[in-house]
Amino acid sequence: MDLILTWFRRQLADPQIVALALIVLLLVLSVWLFGHMLAPLLVSLVIAYLLDAMAGRLRACGVRRSIATSVVFVLFLAILWACFFWLLPLLIRQMGQLFHQIPFMVIEVQQALLQLPSKYPAMISEQQIREVFAGFNTELIRLSQRLLGFSIASLMTLITILIYLVLVPILVFFLLKDKALLINWVISFLPKDRRLTHEVWVEVDRQIGNYVQGKLIEILIVSFVTWVIFRYLNLQYATLLATLTGLSVLVPYVGATVVTLPVALVAYFQFGMAPSFYYVMLAYAIIQFLDGNLLVPVLFSEVVNLHPVAIIAAILLFGGLWGFWGVFFAIPLATVIQAILRSWPREQCPESNDELVAQ
């Protein structure tokens, strides 16, 4: 207990540590208590952060700030409206069709599995297969009915979409236009001696900036390549499955495994065990292999140097706290924690690392 109290006294004696701790605590409490209400603002901050990086590249090429900001903002509006009026309706339509077909897919898979006991009686029995599928069909049909019964035009959903469509572009515009003014306003509340806070911000800005931009490029490349290949192979729901495959890269080690199931179900239901089924699964495996072993190293290099255990722990922790958005921002949040821990002052150990290893 004395050691803990001594550590706290030593940390609180440093005003820079106190300032950093208060800033982090304030941010965490703000997101925790008001995150739902501030969701449009948080989304706008992320989008403005990405667009400002794009505008920065244009400014580096000699384009004036006002022109660069206008170009990226118009591009953002074009993409937003294209997603809302073309991609989103297409995804909703294909999702409804897929959920309508899933019960029939499951029945067909069950019938195929029921043939295994006759071929391998020593390994599996018909009773075991029926126990696995017991209650699964009923719950699946119930889920499909709920999803199909969900109306995108319901009042609350429509209001939420309209709020995002109106507020987010407005917020993004002013965040881009008045970036310097807003930053100076925030800095005015910080202590003058903020070296530690500045070090943490520089590290977070470098890591998260590269990560978010790289991840966005990765999603677009994986989605487009998957869509082209699935369309070439005449796979149904190609747009929906390609989008899911692209979004699966947000959750390392888990996303690709989860998306494998709908891809395999759709391919099996459409082609059976014909060669086309194996072509689809082989193409999907090659895409995942090239993404993990070629695209990710090229895009990220040494950025976000997190251990796989830390990544999975962050996904579990933040996903449990904030659901989908927690999973979405798990790695950036883990990067923030890593940057804080790296910059946090430490006492020098009297023994060198080599000596500790030797012991």
**pLDDT tens per residue across span 315-344:** 788 777 777 667 777 777 787 777 777 766
Tokens representing residue 82 in the block: 């294209």
Taking residue 224's Cβ as centre, other Cβ atoms within 10 Å add up to 12
Encoded amino acid at 352, one letter = S
Nearest to 55 by CA among 215, 209, 224: 209
Contact 287, 245 (CB under 8 A): yes
pLDDT band at 2 (very low <50, low <70, confident <90, very high): low
Residues 36-51: pLDDT tens digits? 777 788 888 888 888 8
Residues 164-223: pLDDT tens digits? 788 888 999 988 888 888 888 877 777 776 777 777 777 777 777 777 777 888 889 999
Convert 95-126 to b/e letters by CB count within 10 Å (16 or more is b).
beebbebbbebbeeeeeebeeebeeeeeeeee
Nearest to 211 by CA among 249, 255, 263: 249
* pLDDT value of position 133: 66
Of the listed ranges 219-233, 292-306, 328-342, the least confidently predicted one is: 292-306
Nearest to 239 by CA among 41, 94, 63, 68: 94
Whole-angstrom distance, CA of residue 35 vs CA of residue 284: 37
Tokens representing residue 64 in the block: 């004036």
Contact 213, 72 (CB under 8 A): no
